[in-house]
Amino acid sequence: MGQVLYATFLENRRVYRLAKARWQRLFEQLLSAKQYTFRPFLNEKRMDGNPMFTAYVRDVDRAVRIIQLDPSEAVSELEIGAWLDEALMPEREDQVMELVIGLVMTKEAEQISQLLIEAWLLQELSLADMEKKIDELVVIDEEVSGV
Amino acid sequence: MTKPHRGRIQAQGENLEESVTWAQDEPLSKKDGLKLLELLKSKLSKKELKNREKQFKQAQRFIENVQDGANAPSTISFKNLKTKKERIDIEVWCGTAFGIFLLLFIIWYLIG
């Protein structure tokens, strides 16, 4: 596995805050090109990485949830998964879709995340095209899992 | 009248969407959360359970260990990254879940 970034985020609150700040910066950088703004939409007070970061972008009415996984539980070289779900937004009666990314934070996983977030929020791919993009970028070996 | 503490635990998958919910006046305790998790397990086939074995363990560990409970709005997901869709989601829609409210109440009662 590549070098894990913020490897001690679950043991050290300072490291946790640094990891969270990295996601904040990434979103600011990505969304500034279109002058989009974002806000958290879930309770992020727990410091367990699940979620590490959430963003609702009103300009496109879409959301992103980042789950940062415990590196000690990693079983493969690159630990990343992504899926689409309905965002939990109790104040809304209609459906807001979210891109969820779960990863062990390495440079490579971060780069894939960035591509997925760009496709979801900036290119505004349809749900079907986003599923294809996830399949393209996040390789699943179901043979290994026995499913 | 809508209950102030509500939520859902859900098992998702390619061909599966099973869930258990709660809606009550008091926060959901860890003990009742674990009972709901067991109830959800009982709704799954052996194969469906096997594909989510690790995720159920992670969900159990989360409920047992979370400090100060999980406050709404919260979605906590445990996904099998080696499969496309298999996962367990815990959603706290309103109020609080998995705190140690009874213990705190007893301490408060004893001190008072």
ipTM: 0.91
More confident residue, A77 or B66: B66
Answer whether residue A146 shows pLDDT above 50. Answer: no
* B22-68 residue pLDDT tens: 999 999 999 999 999 999 999 999 999 998 999 999 999 999 999 88
A12-B55-A26 Cα angle (round to 5) = 45
More confident residue, A145 or A81: A81
Which segments of B1-112 are extended strands (E)?
A: 5-13, 16-24, 28-29, 70-71, 74-79, 87-94, 96-99
In the numeric block, the tokens 């009662």 are attached to B109
- Tell me how far apart the alpha carbons of residues B26 and B6 are, in angstroms, rounded to a whole number: 10
Whose CA is closest to A65, among A74, A77, A56?
A56
**Span B89-103, average pLDDT:** 87
Residue numbers in A near B6 (CB within 8 A)? none
pLDDT-derived band at B101, boundaries 50, 70, 90 = low
B111 contact partners, CB below 8 Å, separation of at least 6: none
Which segments of chain A are extended strands (E)?
A: 53-57, 62-68, 80-86, 97-103
- Tell me how far apart the alpha carbons of residues A89 and A97 are, in angstroms, rounded to a whole number: 10
CB contact under 8 A, A41 and B73: yes
Q: What integer pLDDT is reported at residue A28 of this predicted model?
A: 98
> What is the share, in percent, of chain A residues with pLDDT greater than 70?
95
**CA A84 from centre of chain:** 11
Q: What integer pLDDT is reported at residue A75 of this predicted model?
A: 77
Shortest CA gap B54–chain A (Å):
11
CB contact under 8 A, A100 and B73: no
CB atoms within 10 A of CB A39: 10
Residue numbers in A near B67 (CB within 8 A)? 46
**Span B70-84, average pLDDT:** 91
Instruction: Please check whether residue A57 touches B, CB under 8 A.
Output: no
CB contact under 8 A, B70 and A81: no
CB contact under 8 A, B74 and A145: no
- Tell me how far apart the alpha carbons of residues A119 and A86 are, in angstroms, rounded to a whole number: 17
Q: Residue B4 is encoded by which pair of tokens? A: 């102030």
A91 contact partners, CB below 8 Å, separation of at least 6: none
Which of A61-65, A112-116, B100-104 bottoms out in mean pLDDT, i.e. has the lowest?
B100-104
Residue numbers in B near A49 (CB within 8 A)? none
More confident residue, B96 or B81: B96
Whose CA is closest to A26, among A61, A59, A64, A58?
A64
* A95-118 residue pLDDT tens: 999 999 999 999 999 999 999 999
Which of A10, A11, A43 is the best substitution to test chain B (most B C-beta atoms within 10 A)?
A43
Q: What integer pLDDT is reported at residue A76 of this predicted model?
A: 81
Q: What integer pLDDT is reported at residue A124 of this predicted model?
A: 98
Which segments of B14-110 are extended strands (E)?
A: 16-24, 28-29, 70-71, 74-79, 87-94, 96-99
Q: What integer pLDDT is reported at residue A147 of this predicted model?
A: 42
Which of A6-10, A42-46, B71-75, B102-106 bottoms out in mean pLDDT, i.e. has the lowest?
B102-106
What residues of chain B have any CB closer than 8 angstroms to a CB in chain A?
Answer: 51, 62, 66-68, 70-87, 89, 91-94
CB contact under 8 A, A43 and B74: yes
- Tell me how far apart the alpha carbons of residues A144 and A125 are, in angstroms, rounded to a whole number: 30
Q: Residue A41 is encoded by which pair of tokens? A: 């939409």
